[in-house]
Amino acid sequence: MNTHLLSSFEQLEKQREEFSQWVAQAPEAAQHLKPAADQWSAAQLLYHLSRVDQQVVLGLEKRLASGKPLRPRRLGTQIRSFLLNLFLSLPIKFKAPAAVSEVPEQVIIPEVIQHWKQTREKLQAILSGFPDQHLNKEVFFHPRSGMITLPQTLRFMIEHIEHHRRQMRRLLS
C-alpha cells in the first residue's frame, strides 16, 4: 500500500477504534440517550459513521469495477475537496446526504462495531490494490462536492469523523 494511503488508513483506524470504544464502554443509558427527539444518540451516531464508510467503500468498488477510464484531478477537484473539508472543520451542523441520514431507532452496538470493522477491511483491500499511477485520478463521487481522488476521499473520511468528535463527547459526557 502507498505510504500516504497507509498513513491515512491508520489514522482512520485509530478514529474507528476510539469511537467504537467510547460507545461500547459507556453506560447503556448514555449509549441510547437522545438529547432531543430530532437528534441522534451516541449509538445512532456510531451507526451513521459506519454507514458513511460503507457508502464510500461501495462507491469506490462500483467506480473501480466499472472499467471506465478515470479522469485526472483538476483544479476544480482540488477546490471542491478543500471546501468540503473546510466546512467539515467548522463547528456547524449540516444535513447529512440522504444515503446516510437515516438511522434506526434501535441500534445494536456490537453489530455496528463489527460491521464497521468489516467495512474497513474492505477499504484496506481497495487501498492495498490501488495503483500509484491513479492517485491523482478522480475515483469517488461525494454527493456534496462531486468527484474526488482517493487521497481526497480518505481526507474527507478523516475530517467527517473529526466533525462528529465534539458531538460524540457531548453525548457521552
Q: Which residue blocks in the chain are alpha helix, DSSP H?
A: 3-25, 28-32, 42-65, 75-89, 98-101, 109-128, 150-163, 165-172
What pLDDT shows up at residue 109? Answer: 97
Owning domain of residue 127: 3-172
The C-alpha atoms of residue 162 and residue 58 are separated, in whole angstroms, by 22
What pLDDT shows up at residue 105? Answer: 92
The C-alpha atoms of residue 109 and residue 129 are separated, in whole angstroms, by 31
The C-alpha atoms of residue 75 and residue 167 are separated, in whole angstroms, by 33
State the CB neighbour count (10 A cutoff) for residue 6.
Answer: 13
Residue 138, domain CATH: 1.20.120.450
Which stretches of the chain score pLDDT less than 50? none
Say how many domains are in the chain: 1
Residues written for the chain: 173
What pLDDT shows up at residue 93? Answer: 80
